[in-house]
Amino acid sequence: MKTTLKISLAALLSVAACWSAAQTVSAMRSTEVSAVDKAPEIQNYQGSRPGSQALIQRTFKEQPPLIPHRVEGFDDINNEDNACLDCHIHKEVRGQKVPQLKESHLVKPVNADAPVLDKSRWQCNSCHVPQIDAKPLVENVFKGNAAAK
């Protein structure tokens, strides 16, 4: 009796093993799970030079606004230089209106005449990001509140 039970259990297990091996696992990147990753397709950022596009509507309160213009040439932020500031610390540059940094990005050191950039905001692109036309990997049902600002 015991032996029959053992045999039928073993048979059941091997059937289960075959069945699971026959299942193909489909990965989101649409290749075999064991295949080597392909390098992602290189896409250009959208937008042209600053000053020629509309602002992108924010989708929730306190969202860091998205960058609507191209960033090539001034996205290299290092210890000394920050090209974003060349424009965004001002209200206007060469007759062109610029969205200016507000109080949230500034501190007023003691004895200073005017507020300066808070160094915790120095790396602009850790919060503000340029855009590419990338399709979502999975369905996204997030509904933003377009009125938020």
Of 29 and 49, CB closest to ligand HEC: 49
145 binds ligand HEC (CB under 6 A): no
CA dihedral 107, 81, 122, 45 (to 10 degrees): 140
Burial class of residue 45 in the structure, from the number of CB atoms within 10 Å of its CB (0-12 exposed, 13-18 middle, 19+ buried): middle
Sole binder of ligand HEC in the list 96, 116, 144, 146 (CB under 6 A): 96
Q: For residues 89 and 110, what is the distance between their CA atoms, to the nearest angstrom?
A: 20
Both ends of the chain: CA-CA distance in Å? Answer: 75
CB of 81 to ligand HEC, least distance (A): 11
Q: Does 88 bind ligand HEC (CB under 6 A)?
A: yes
Smaller CB distance to ligand HEC: residue 59 or 93?
93
Choose the stretch contacting ligand HEC; rule: CB under 6 A; options: 6-14, 66-74, 107-115, 131-139: 66-74
Among 14, 31, 123, 145, binds ligand HEC (CB under 6 A): 123
* Binder of ligand HEC out of 99, 108, 115, 148 (CB under 6 A): 99
Q: CB-wise, 31 or 123, nearer to ligand HEC?
A: 123
How far apart, in Å, are the Cα atoms of 5 and each of 2, 10, 87, 118, 132? 5, 9, 79, 74, 61
146 token code pair: 């377009």
CB 34 within 8 A of CB 49: no
CA distance 65 to 128: 6
Binding site for ligand HEC (CB under 6 A): 50-53, 55, 62, 64-65, 67-69, 71, 74-75, 82-88, 93, 96, 98-99, 101-102, 104-105, 117, 121-128
